[in-house]
C-alpha cells in the first residue's frame, strides 16, 4: 500500500453505454459509438495493465446481465416515479433485444467479466438503472430499491459493490447514509469546479459549462489536487473528482496538447506535494476518435509512470483508497 506522503492517482470511469445516453440518442443512434466503445474497453484495460493502473469502473446495473430474461426477472416491484417519466430507464424494457449479442449497447455482462478479471480493476456502482438522485418525483425509498437491485445484479458475478458514483454527478446528501448501510465504503463527490448539474435553470447552466470547457484547456481554475487529510474517514468516504478527461475534439485539435499538459501538470503537483489527483470519464467518451483518445490517455499514463519513478506516486482505485482509510480501525 502507498505511503501517506506520496501522491496518488485515482481513476474512475462511469460505465453505462446507452443507459447514460438515453435522453440524447436513441439506441440505434448510439449503436456505432456503442460498438466502438465496446472495442475500446479492452484497449483501455491493456493500457491500465501496462502502466500499473488501478481503476474503478462504476457500472450501471442493467449492464451486468447476459440477457433480457434474466434482467426482467430482477426488475424491482417499485420503480422511480420521475415527473419527467421519459427519464426512467424502465421505459425501454419492452424494446430490449434478446441478449448481449443482439443488444450490445444495453447488455454488457461479458465486459463486466473482462474488467473484473483484469488485475486491480474494481467494479463499482453507477446505480441499477442510471437512477437520477435529484430528479423531481423520485425519493429515498425508490433509491433504496434501486441500490438493492444493483447489489443483486453484482452478485450474479460474485462481486461486492464498495464504490459508488452518482449518475450525472447528482450527489444527494440525504442519500449518503443509505449508501453506507448498503455496504458502500465511498462515493465520488463533485470537484470544486463550477458544475452545471447543481443549477436547475438551463440558461444559468451555460456559464458553468463554458467555464469548465475553457478550463479543460487553459486550466485557470487551478490544479484541483487535494491532500489525503482532506478526506474525512468515516462510514462513507467522499473521494472528490479532480478533473473530467474531456474527449478528443477534432474541431479543437490544436488545443489538445494544452488539455493533456494541464492534466500532466496537475499530476506533477500531486506527486510533488503528496496529494491526490482524481481523473474520471466515461468509456463512451472513447467511442469516437478512439485512437486519438487512447493516445492522449497513454501520454497521461506515461507521465504517471515517470512520477512513480521520481516521486513514488501510486495508483489506487476508489475502493482501495477507502479501505486504506479503514485500516487503523482493524
- What residues have CB less than 8 Å from 323, skipping those under 6 apart? 162, 185
Does position 14 interact with Zn ion (CB under 5 A)? The reply is: yes
Nearer to Zn ion, 167 or 283 (CB): 167
Does position 283 interact with Zn ion (CB under 5 A)? The reply is: no
Shortest distance, position 184 Cβ to Zn ion, whole Å: 17
Is residue 54 within 8 A of residue 313, CB to CB? The reply is: no
Shortest distance, position 223 Cβ to Zn ion, whole Å: 25
Does position 20 interact with Zn ion (CB under 5 A)? The reply is: yes
Shortest distance, position 328 Cβ to Zn ion, whole Å: 33
What DSSP line would sit under 288-328, residue for residue? SSHHHHHHHHHHHHHHHHHHHHHH--EEE-HHHHHHHHHGG
- Here's the x/- map for Zn ion, 128-157, by CB under 5 A: it reads as ------------------------------
Shortest distance, position 169 Cβ to Zn ion, whole Å: 8
Cα separation, 271 vs 253, in Å, equals: 28
Does position 61 interact with Zn ion (CB under 5 A)? The reply is: no
38-55 burial code (b ≥16 CB/10 A, e <16): bebbeebbebbeebebbb
Query: Taking Cα atoms as reference points, which of 280, 287, 53 lies closest to residue 165?
Result: 280
Q: Hey, which residues does 9 pair with through a beta bridge?
A: 277, 315
For residue 273 the three cell numbers come to 506535494
Q: Of 16, 100, 215, 320, which lies in the binding site for Zn ion, with binding defined by CB under 5 A?
A: 16
Phi-psi sector, 156: left (phi>0), alpha (psi -120 to 50), beta: alpha
Nearer to Zn ion, 125 or 308 (CB): 125
Shortest distance, position 14 Cβ to Zn ion, whole Å: 4
Nearer to Zn ion, 169 or 224 (CB): 169
What DSSP line would sit under 238-283, residue for residue? E----EE-PPP-STTGGGHHHHHHHHHHHHHHHHHHTEEEEEEE-G
Shortest distance, position 64 Cβ to Zn ion, whole Å: 15
Give me the residue whose beta carbon is nearest to Zn ion: 20
DSSP reduced 3-state for 96: coil
Residues numbered 30-59 forming contacts with Zn ion, rule: CB under 5 A: none
Nearer to Zn ion, 243 or 262 (CB): 243
For residue 137 the three cell numbers come to 418525483
| Residue 279 main-chain phi, psi, to 5 deg | -105, 140
Nearer to Zn ion, 104 or 283 (CB): 283
Does position 167 interact with Zn ion (CB under 5 A)? The reply is: yes
DSSP reduced 3-state for 61: helix
Is residue 53 within 8 A of residue 47, CB to CB? The reply is: yes
Nearer to Zn ion, 41 or 271 (CB): 41
Shortest distance, position 166 Cβ to Zn ion, whole Å: 8
Nearer to Zn ion, 16 or 275 (CB): 16
Applying CB under 5 A, the span of 30-38, 84-92, 104-112, 165-173 interacting with Zn ion comes to: 165-173
Does position 215 interact with Zn ion (CB under 5 A)? The reply is: no
Nearer to Zn ion, 166 or 311 (CB): 166
Shortest distance, position 126 Cβ to Zn ion, whole Å: 6
Binding site for Zn ion (CB under 5 A): 14, 16, 20, 167
Amino acid at each position: 500500500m502507498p505511503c501517506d506522503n506520496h501522491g496518488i492517482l485515482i481513476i474512475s470511469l462511469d460505465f453505462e453505454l446507452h443507459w447514460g445516453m438515453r435522453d440524447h440518442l436513441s439506441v440505434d443512434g448510439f449503436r456505432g459509438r456503442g460498438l466502438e466503445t465496446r472495442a475500446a474497453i479492452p484497449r483501455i484495460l491493456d493500457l491500465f495493465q501496462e502502466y500499473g493502473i488501478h481503476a474503478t469502473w462504476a457500472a450501471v446495473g442493467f449492464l451486468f446481465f447476459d440477457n433480457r430474461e434474466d434482467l426482467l426477472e430482477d426488475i424491482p416491484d417499485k420503480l422511480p416515479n420521475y415527473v419527467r417519466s421519459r427519464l426512467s430507464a424502465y421505459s425501454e424494457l419492452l424494446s430490449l433485444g434478446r441478449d448481449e449479442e443482439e443488444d450490445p449497447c444495453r447488455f454488457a455482462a461479458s465486459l463486466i467479466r473482462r474488467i473484473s478479471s483484469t488485475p486491480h480493476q474494481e467494479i463499482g456502482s453507477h446505480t441499477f438503472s442510471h437512477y437520477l438522485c435529484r430528479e423531481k418525483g423520485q425519493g429515498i425509498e425508490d433509491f433504496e430499491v434501486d441500490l438493492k437491485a444493483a447489489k443483486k445484479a453484482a452478485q450474479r458475478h460474485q462481486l461486492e459493490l464498495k464504490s459508488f458514483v452518482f449518475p450525472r454527478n447528482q450527489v444527494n446528501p440525504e442519500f449518503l447514509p443509505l449508501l453506507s448501510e448498503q455496504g458502500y465504503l465511498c462515493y465520488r463527490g463533485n470537484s470544486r469546479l463550477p458544475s452545471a448539474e447543481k443549477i436547475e435553470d438551463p440558461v444559468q447552466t451555460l456559464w458553468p459549462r463554458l467555464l469548465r470547457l475553457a478550463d479543460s484547456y487553459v486550466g485557470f481554475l487551478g490544479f484541483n489536487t487535494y491532500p489525503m487529510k482532506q478526506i474525512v474517514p468515516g462510514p462513507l468516504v467522499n473521494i472528490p473528482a479532480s478533473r473530467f478527461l474531456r474527449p478528443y475534439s477534432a474541431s479543437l485539435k490544436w488545443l489538445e496538447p494544452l488539455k493533456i499538459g494541464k492534466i500532466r501538470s496537475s499530476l506533477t503537483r500531486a506527486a510533488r506535494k503528496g496529494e491526490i489527483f482524481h481523473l474520471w470519464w466515461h468509456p463512451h467518451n472513447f467511442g469516437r476518435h478512439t485512437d486519438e483518445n487512447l493516445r492522449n490517455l497513454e501520454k497521461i499514463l506515461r507521465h504517471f509512470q515517470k512520477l512513480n519513478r521520481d516521486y513514488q506516486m501510486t495508483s489506487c482505485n476508489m475502493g482501495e483508497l477507502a479501505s486504506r482509510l479503514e485500516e487503523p480501525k482493524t
